[in-house]
A and B are shown apart, each in its own frame.
Chain A
Amino acid sequence: GENVEQHPSTLSVQEGDSAVIKCTYSDSASNYFPWYKQELGKGPQLIIDIRSNVGEKKDQRIAVTLNKTAKHFSLHITETQPEDSAVYFCAASNRAAGNKLTFGGGTRVLVKP
């Protein structure tokens, strides 16, 4: 089955700096790669996603890149703000698996003011 690895497990950045989280996946059939943000006491919330027919996607301060050949994808957050502090999860799925997501282990991001 699919295996998703995520690095780093913790990330501390100064407010205004950029943060980068990287994930690798194992199943070449995976075609959907969402990123979720989970704040304390809440469920994960989708912040951006990318499909395998696209190499990069941006939404304001957040961007995701996908390298299908190398089977890795990354989340980039620019101009970080204290409210970006949370746990971020990458995930992967393929069409045959329906809404089954395989998640990475998570990255705890701390943005220091």
Chain B
Amino acid sequence: KAGVTQTPRYLIKTRGQQVTLSCSPISGHRSVSWYQQTPGQGLQFLFEYFSETQRNKGNFPGRFSGRQFSNSRSEMNVSTLELGDSALYLCASSLTGGNTGELFFGEGSRLTVL
């Protein structure tokens, strides 16, 4: 069974640009969550999608957005990039939408903003 797949794995952008990251969950999983990991702030929740609906959102500015497609694949977008957006962006999928099942994380997309 394939795990959570995130693309691209590495990318470099400059300030002011935008970026789109993609996440393919484990087959059959309908919940996709996104987390930002930085050395200073640790792992922080961005948002969760379940059946194409955003169920929960963390404390990030509106420049961070996401969506989920009917096949459960998800994308997150960051517009007007800032240096502080440099981070590892992790996607996690789960079978259920509540906190009743395990979260399976992908290996992340490492974004560097210059």
B103: which A residues are within 8 A, CB to CB?
34, 46, 99, 101
Asked if residues B99 and A44 are in contact (CB atoms below 8 Å), the reply is no
Task: Render B20-46 as a binary contact track against A, CB cut-off 8 A, 1 for contact.
Answer: 000000000001010100000011110
- Contact of B99 (CB < 8 Å), options: A42, A97, A106: A97
- Contact of B102 (CB < 8 Å), options: A43, A46, A94, A105: A46
Query: Nearest Cβ in chain B — how far from A22, in angstroms?
Result: 16
Query: Nearest Cβ in chain B — how far from A31, in angstroms?
Result: 7
- Contact of B90 (CB < 8 Å), options: A31, A43, A95: A43
B107: which A residues are within 8 A, CB to CB?
41-43
In which size bucket is the chain B interface? 20 to 34
Give CA–CA (A98, B101) in the complex, Å: 10
Given known contacts A43-B90, A44-B90, is B98 in contact with A98 (CB within 8 Å)? yes
B50: which A residues are within 8 A, CB to CB?
98
Asked if residues A43 and B94 are in contact (CB atoms below 8 Å), the reply is no
Give CA–CA (A94, B56) in the complex, Å: 12
Does any Cβ of A come within 8 Å of B58's Cβ? yes
Asked if residues B108 and A43 are in contact (CB atoms below 8 Å), the reply is yes
Given known contacts A49-B102, A98-B99, is B48 in contact with A44 (CB within 8 Å)? no
**Given A36-B105, A98-B97, list of 11 further CB < 8 A pairs?**
A34-B103, A43-B92, A44-B90, A46-B104, A49-B102, A98-B50, A98-B98, A99-B31, A99-B33, A99-B48, A103-B43
Does any Cβ of B come within 8 Å of A45's Cβ? yes
B92: which A residues are within 8 A, CB to CB?
43, 99
Does any Cβ of B come within 8 Å of A93's Cβ? yes
Give CA–CA (A32, B103) in the complex, Å: 12
